[in-house]
Amino acid sequence: MKKALKILGIVILLLIITIISIPFLFKGTIQDKVRYLVNEHVNAKVDFANVDISLLRSFPNASVVIDELSVINYAPFEGDTLAYSKKIALDMSINELFKDASEAISVQKIIIDEALIAVKTDSIGNSNIDITKSDNVTPEDPIETENEDGFTFALEHYEINNSRILYQDDVSKMLLEMTGLNHTGDGSVSGDNVILNTNTITEASFGLDGTKYLNKNKLQLDAEIELDLKNQRYTFRENKGLINRLPLEFTGFVQLFEKYTEVDLSFKTPTSDFKNFLAVIPETYAKNLDGVQTSGDFSIAGVVKGKSDDTHIPTMDISIISHNASFKYPDLPKAVKNINIDTKIKNETGLVDDTYVNIGNLTFKIDQDSFAAKGYLKNLTKNMIIDMALKGTLNLANLNQAYPLQLEEQLNGILNADIKTHFDMLSLEKEQYQNVKSSGTASISNFTYASEELPNEISINKANVSFNPGTISLDELQATTGKSDLAAKGTITNLMGFLFAKQDLKGDFDVNSNVFAVSDFMVSEEESEGQTTDTEATNEEETMKIPSFLDATLNFDSKKVLYDNLVLENAKGTVKIKDETAYLQNVTSNIFDGGIAFNGNVSTKSETPTFDMALDLSKIDIVKSFENLELVKGLAPIAKALTGNLTTQINLNGKLNDNLTPVLTSLKGKALAEILNAQVRTGKTPLLSKLDNQLNFVELDKLNLKDIKTNLSFDDGKINVKPFNFDVQGIKITAGGSHSFDQSMDYNLTLDVPAKYLGSEVGSLMSQLNEKEANSVTVGLPVGISGNFTNPKINLNTGQAVKQLTQQIVNKQKAKVKDELVGKGQKAITDLLGGTKKKKDSTKTDSPNKTEDALKNTAKSILGGILGSKKKKKDSTKSKN
């Protein structure tokens, strides 16, 4: 007995050692198998983190777990992930572990966790699943159901957990995505036939040619599927599914042939309760259907049958029917009644372009308001053709009182419509609006509209629209928003393109307004993006944006326009808005008791707004313009001390602040300014006050500036003033220089000052002039102005003035002496050449020679003084050498 127990103990010990050691012994075999399959069959980069083998997890079977398996494509999908799984678990017989790497391994169970499969086809037909290495098999060879040197499957159970499948086809512009996919299957194998009982839960999104037909719609399917592996025929025997909450039953088969696929499927709703209709709507919008009262019927039934290949699709006949139905949510006050639906989706030829949707009748009623529509949609996959007729009255406020809509703004207003329209999408995209055939009228009253690109809601008191072939006429519009009121008429050229083809809204309008506030039509960039938190919004500057969806011309006439802190009266002109830019043409207005005219543009397209403008300000009040225009404060800070009128022409461009006011340091341009008539108030600026104290001979407060013109240019934050002249109490002044928008300055003045105003510094010089000369002589007094406008530095260069006066007096003395000498010389010459002769004294007789010598000596003396220095007479007492 003891011996038997001992032998049993040894066997158990060996078994335990075997169970523990086998995973280590055969781990390399499985890894070699995976690498062998990759190297032999796959043209892609395949990698995995680890392969783990256990005999305990699925005892008596062996369990193989592959961690983080990935398949990465080579060109033309270089770097794309075709497949990835966080974990793949395979159960198989222990015997399979003893097979060579080249032998097939049979798998009974497979579990795949957190997988991603992304199947893509590019625009020229390349597919990223074409990663199998080429071999010698021809298309005529039979398809084997087992891989002799890979894995074979005798599945009893399989799972796919929390996974995602993506199918993207750029040729057909199809996108199918299933997220949160959980799929299980249990089956039995009998020869080439497999019967699987499956359960699938996922959220599906489906789009075709840019149109989303499903958007994260919940799908659930319990299906019994028979797989005929030999003939590749897959039969759906008893199947129940849910699309959101819409129940469907379907039967039929799909069979794969070498060049095409045969499809024969039929489906229907198991009941005709109208709740089926509400169940089609995504739960996010339909909300909780519990307690919803319904009446009438709703059913969907259809058949999809035929071949599917490169040129054909199965034919289809799908009907959506409802008769005299109604529904009412328990928490909402109103019901939707008289619902009738008669819609068919059909394709009778098998050609995809012949698929169409026919809306034979669609009606509903809320309170006393009824609405009806009918029409069709054809050529769905290419150039869709839409033909619709709409008629009815609808109180928009009743919509979310009858149906749980998720709206940021409460809908309101009365809509009346009687419209027929026929158009194709290609014509809209190519802006061939002559192909849009529309007729009828529509009106809305007491309507409010809010948009992320508008800071305030727009209240439309009344709007009447006429639909014409190619265009839509806005016959009347009365609206208000913020402080603004609008009355408009005009033409919209592409309403359908705006609604269906994501085009800018285009049109021409005549707009009249009593008050038009520009800020009512601007919005901060943070608000339009909708991504800024409240904290960020308070800490960051808001950028005003011109709406991007407008491509319109507005001829406007407004009694009052409010822009920033400016008020423009009787404003008229044209504004063209396109590509986030406003082009202003021939705009005129009254402002600051004068007039303004301007042309130019403002653009918010770039990150920093810009402008380019030509302004003509005529006879504006200087005080009012200085108080309200930052531009005037920057260009002419001294204007603060002036009262009167100013005319100026300015051409400038630059950047704008976030509130669309100019960034002064960015300005480039030039200006011509003319002071028509102005008085000076020296106490208003430190500059003039200090200048007035130092120029005590000039009373600046009594200065009357009239018809003074100057040219300015500005660049890089600096204003250059070309020298100009003006007169102050008979004193001519020349001024010129520059200053910056930071208020620093460098100016030079020259005053032609009467010399007597220089005081004691020139007293001795003035004494050399007679009274008449002293009152008339003037000198240039240079004055340098530096520092800044709040703390100016005045430099009176009186030394230069004294030097100039000294030179003037010297020049006057020279001229005087010269004039005296010339006068004496002329007299002497005259006498010498025979001027008036004195009568001879009868008592005296001079000899002729003595008289002649005297005249010669006198002439020499005078001419010598004029033409050169006199020669000294010789001393008669000195002896000659």
- 485-502 pLDDT, tens digit each: 989 898 887 766 676 667
pLDDT for residue 13: 41
3 state SS for 137-194: CCCCCCCCCCCCCCEEEEEEEEEEEEEEEEEEECCCCEEEEEEEEEEEEEEEEECCEE
Weakest mean pLDDT among 210-214, 307-311, 322-326: 210-214
pLDDT at 536 over 50: no
Weakest mean pLDDT among 181-195, 513-527, 549-563: 513-527
Weakest mean pLDDT among 182-191, 234-243, 392-401, 501-510: 182-191
3-state helix, strand, coil in the chain (%, to 5): 25, 50, 25
| Own/partner long-range contacts of 789-794 (Cβ < 8 Å, ≥24 apart) | 789/637, 789/638, 789/685, 789/686, 789/687, 789/739, 789/743, 789/745, 790/686, 790/743, 791/686, 792/686, 792/687, 792/690, 792/691, 792/745, 794/690, 794/691, 794/694
Beta strands at 472-481 and 458-467: parallel, antiparallel or unpaired? antiparallel
Residues 371/382, Cβ–Cβ less than 8 Å: no
Six-digit token string for 590 = 């009254």
Give Cα separations from 826 to 334, 369, 680, 854, 865 (angstroms): 125, 121, 56, 17, 12
pLDDT tier at 711, thresholds 50, 70, 90: confident
- Going from N- to C-terminal start, the domains of the chain cover 21-131+148-171
Convert the pLDDT of each residue in 824-879 to its tens digit.
656 655 665 555 544 444 444 445 455 445 444 444 443 343 334 444 444 444 44
Six-digit token string for 56 = 């305990």
pLDDT for residue 618: 85
> Residues, the chain, total?
881
Convert the pLDDT of each residue in 403-448 to its tens digit.
887 666 667 888 898 988 888 888 777 777 677 788 888 888 888 8
pLDDT at 358 over 90: yes
Average pLDDT on 565-577 reads 87
Give the type of residue at 138: T
Q: Name the β-bridge partners of 793.
A: 786
pLDDT at 506 over 90: no
Whether the predicted model's global pTM rises above the 0.75 cut: no
Helix (H) or strand (E) holding 815: helix 798-832
Higher pLDDT, 103 or 712: 712
Q: What is the DSSP string of 560-601?
A: EEEETTEEEEEEEEEEEEETTEEEEEEEEEEETTEEEEEEEE
- Quick check: bond before 76 cis, omega within 30? yes
Whole-number Å distance between alpha carbons of 382 and 172: 10
pLDDT for residue 142: 36
Q: Is 637 exposed, middle or buried (0-12, 13-18, 19+ CB in 10 A)?
A: buried
Average pLDDT on 663-668 reads 81
Average pLDDT on 718-747 reads 80
Whole-number Å distance between alpha carbons of 707 and 747: 21
Weakest mean pLDDT among 194-203, 262-271, 692-701: 692-701
Whole-number Å distance between alpha carbons of 853 and 838: 16
Convert the pLDDT of each residue in 581-623 to its tens digit.
989 889 898 888 888 888 989 888 888 888 888 888 888 777 7
Q: What are the φ/ψ torsions at residue 319 (nearest 5 degrees)?
A: -115, 135
Q: Name the β-bridge partners of 581.
A: 578, 603
pLDDT for residue 319: 93
Convert the pLDDT of each residue in 746-798 to its tens digit.
888 887 877 666 665 555 565 666 666 656 677 777 888 888 877 888 887 77
